[in-house]
Structures are given as C-alpha cells and as structure tokens.
C-alpha cells in the first residue's frame, strides 16, 4: 500500500495499524454484489456493478478501514467484469480504504506467482489489480502460500491464509483430527505463524494473517494462541450467526489484529431497518464499527 510522502517505509502490519487507529475502525466492507439486489438503476451488467459498489463505498466507506471485493462476482462478467473490478479498487483507494482481494487462490510455483502478481501488481510492465491484501487457499501446502508472501513483500502488502472458514462444511477437512494430535486447521495456523515470522514492526503484527470464522469462538481463542502476531480476518458475523462479542481474542495483540468483515448485513440492511439503502447501511456499519472498536478497547484496556 502507498505510504504518504515523507513517511519512512512501514511494515505491512504497522501501516495497517496506523490506518485502523486513524479511522477508529476494524470494519471490512464485503463487496459481494448480488445482481438481483444492486443499488443501481442501471441495466444489469458491469456498469451497474461499478455504480453499485461506488454507491456502497460512498455511503459506508467512512466507517470502514477496508473493502473486500469477492472476485467471483466480477469474473462472472468476463473481461468487462475484470475491468469493473479495477474501477472498484480505484474507487476504494480514492476513499482511503485498503483493498482485500478475496479470490482464495491456491496454486503453486509460477502459477501462484502469476496469481499474486495479478492481484498485488509487481510484474514487469503489468499494473495488476493493486490489492493490499489477498486471501489464499493452503490445501496445496506451503508452496501455495510462499509465492504470495514473496510477492506481497515486494509491494508491502499482506496475505490472509484460509485457516478455519466460517461455513459448516469447513469441518470436513479443516476440523479433521490428526493422528499426531491437533486438527488440520491447527497445522495451517502453524504455517501462518512460521511464514509471517520476522515481518512485524512496532505494531507487532506480521504480514501473513489468517481467515478464522467468527462462528466458532473456542477455535478463535486457540487460533490466537497459535498465531500470536497474525492479523485475523473474521467472517461470519451476522448472516452466518457469529456474534461480535465472541471475537475478543482476535484483538489481544492490538487494535488492528482483528478485522471484522460484513457484507449482506450492511448492504441489505434496509430490508430490516427501513429507510434508504444508504441510510440503513450507514447505520448498520456504524453500529458494527463502534461495537468492534469498543470491544477492542475493552480487551486492550484502552479507550
């Protein structure tokens, strides 16, 4: 991510920490545009996607530290969808938001490097998307994560490894108990900790973080033990049944050590709250931002 002029270079963790502190927000706005529920009166298509995301960012952006576009929703529109995604990333950056590219890519070697370059940038002569963070799937092992870490470090970006996702079916593989003790997801947590080691600055936060669902509080406690310096992205609050009160362990290393992500519960808030989509979303986002901030204050004994 771009540092401001005259600032000394920062580690990824320190820059994230500074942004979270300035905006008093750990909230990540999921951009997961459902073609049937867009905030746009344009004809369905990529222009409506851009219009929708720009409107949502304008309404809710001030309560957030980052946006998390769901790549699948853009890829559905082919090449124009990829162009639209680029426009949305630009709009987010202009609104002072970080961008988490949620593509959950998981491949190895030159393929993983190509994905990383495509998302972070850094390939010769190719701009890339300019994401500040990207989600990565570790099923193929360390080789699936390492090329992302290497590429992210070239541009002071970060990596978020799927460790324990928030969906029920995640239990099949991620919760499988190992003959040697522990579960598969704990092995993944160990990988995150190892690959991030040595990357923290003053904030104490590494550039390799994890996705851990807010739907399993006991696992989150254990995840924090196994990954004491990792930024943890917390999906599953709201629509998937997770409660913000349960994510306290995420904030133990600091304000920016837990990022709370929500999508439908913000963008579709008017269905429950009434009012315009903008007002309802702003209200829902502000409530979630404030609750997370106060929770982190309580955990850290700060105000």
Which residues of the shown chain bind a second copy in the complex (CB under 8 A)?
Answer: 32, 34, 44, 70, 72-73, 75-83, 86, 104-112, 114-115, 117-118, 123, 125-129, 137-144, 162, 165, 167-174, 176-180, 184, 187-188, 191
**Least distance between a second copy and beta carbon 204 (Å):** 27
Nearer to a second copy, 3 or 76 (CB): 76
152 token code pair: 């992210």
Q: How far is the CB of 38 from a second copy (least distance, A)?
A: 14
Q: Is 68 a catalytic residue?
A: no
C-alpha 165/C-alpha 168 separation (Å) is: 8
Neighbours of 291 (CB within 10 A): 16
Contact 203, 254 (CB under 8 A): yes
Q: Is 258 helix (H, G, I), strand (E, B) or coil?
A: strand
Q: Is the CB of 127 or the CB of 218 nearer to a second copy? A: 127
Rounded Cα–Cα distance for residues 93 and 101 (Å): 13
Least Å distance, CB 60 to a second copy, is 20
Q: Measured from the CB atom, is 83 or 248 closer to a second copy?
A: 83
Q: Please identify which of the residues 104, 252, 270, 273 carries the catalytic annotation.
A: 104
Query: What are the distances in angstroms from CA 130 to CA 44, 49, 156?
Result: 26, 19, 11
- Enter the tokens of residue 231: 């930024």
Least spacing, CB of residue 302 vs a second copy, in Å: 35
User: Which residue number, 79 or 218, has a Cβ lying nearer to a second copy?
Assistant: 79
- The b-or-e profile of 193-206 (16+ CB within 10 A means b, else e) is bebbeebbbebbbb
Report the catalytic residues. Answer: 104
């Amino acid at each position: 991510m771009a540092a401001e002029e005259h600032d000394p270079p920062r580690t990824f963790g320190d820059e994230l920490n500074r942004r979270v502190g300035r905006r008093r927000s750990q909230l990540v706005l999921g951009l997961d545009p459902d073609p049937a529920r867009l905030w746009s009166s344009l004809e369905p298509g990529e222009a409506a996607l851009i219009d929708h995301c720009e409107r949502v960012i304008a309404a809710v952006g001030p309560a957030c530290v980052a946006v998390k576009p769901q790549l699948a929703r853009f890829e559905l529109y082919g090449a124009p969808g990829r162009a639209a995604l680029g426009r949305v990333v630009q709009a987010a950056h202009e609104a002072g938001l970080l961008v988490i590219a949620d593509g959950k890519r998981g491949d190895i070697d030159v393929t993983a490097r190509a994905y990383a370059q495509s998302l972070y940038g850094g390939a010769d002569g190719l701009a890339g998307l300019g994401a500040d963070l990207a989600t990565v799937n570790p099923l193929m092992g360390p080789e699936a994560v390492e090329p992302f870490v290497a590429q992210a470090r070239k541009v002071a970006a970060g990596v978020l490894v799927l460790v324990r996702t928030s969906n029920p079916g995640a239990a099949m593989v991620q919760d499988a108990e190992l003959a040697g003790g522990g579960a598969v997801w704990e092995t993944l947590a160990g990988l995150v900790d190892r690959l991030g080691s040595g990357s923290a600055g003053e904030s104490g936060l590494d550039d390799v973080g994890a996705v851990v669902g807010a739907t399993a509080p006991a696992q989150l406690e254990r995840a924090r033990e196994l990954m004491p310096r990792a930024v943890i992205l917390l999906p599953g609050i709201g629509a998937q049944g997770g409660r913000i009160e349960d994510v306290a362990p995420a904030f133990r290393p600091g304000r920016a050590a837990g990022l709370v992500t929500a999508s439908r519960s913000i963008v579709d808030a008017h269905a429950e709250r009434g009012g315009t989509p903008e007002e309802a979303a702003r209200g829902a986002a502000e409530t979630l931002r404030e609750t997370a901030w106060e929770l982190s204050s309580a955990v850290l004994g700060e105000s």
